[in-house]
Chains A and B, each alone.
Chain A
């Protein structure tokens, strides 16, 4: 069930990414929705699910971009696993810590991509520092917003379920 939910989320994120690129060609320079999804998926501390989520999100990123296939897959796998591993040991609930986790994840992803490019390509074109900073900030803000929205939604669903169960008991 969790895998299906993730697949549906990945589909939505892919559609949003393509729409973003359609509307603004610089979209992928500033935003990485796949990264946000991979980190969000890893934030509950399940390293197994985090690993597969990062791998799937990264490989789909590679499919909608060019260059060496698998670079985003590798970077996202590592950062998603790292996020899940860190979440097992740290409490990541407050907006500031969530912001930090998403921003750090974006920075780690960019560093991994840069390191891979430097190691593997003869004359790599590296992203400018400002673009890396912009991606880290945008990922952090987007992550906080999505994390808060998910928490609010889950709380409302829980409340609705409890009130519904209480009504059913009264009728019985």
Chain B
């Protein structure tokens, strides 16, 4: 149907792109993860498993990894708790204000990540807006320090950043729930709460799953929020990778950790895709 040259013209660029920017880097990463580095910071091309074994021997890595997963889990939960009701309200009850509210809900996406990070710094800091208010209202006498530079601050910032990512797919799936199914449920005697649990929620699960995946995977790999507001107790696994590739100059170990994270993420995507298939009906 299409000429050979046309086929080549549309196929070659993406193939080249994927090869140059995905396959080759991953292959390099894989190689690096089996190499080692001398105390003089020279990379030695001798194949060994030391980097991977170190990940288990040094308890710091699993600790930070599990903390990252806990933070990502908390962010996911909060983003769903915030995003679902918002999406529900917009889809079913916003009426004429739907468009406006939709735009307002996704506006944070247009603001720079760094701006939002620094905004939380200004709010949560010891001389920040929140502490200023608490002291002004005589609720606290001294600045509360754990607001900033803590896992709490990281969760708060990431939730703010990734809630639109959960809101969008949930909103899309709610918009696709046929309205006559809701009428049918009422017609068959199910009051609104029962209708929500038995019809609307199950039919919006694909969106919930997609949103949860976004929030979890994106927060798990995040390194800017912990850098800006996390402090030493809020360090996440990506910060370690950044340090290993940068200041510490241990590319092989950095590569090994990166591949572990990649494996976890691919595993999550694989599982959610399976579950999503199970819950999609169109």
| A and B found bound together | no
Interface residues of A (CB under 8 A from B): none
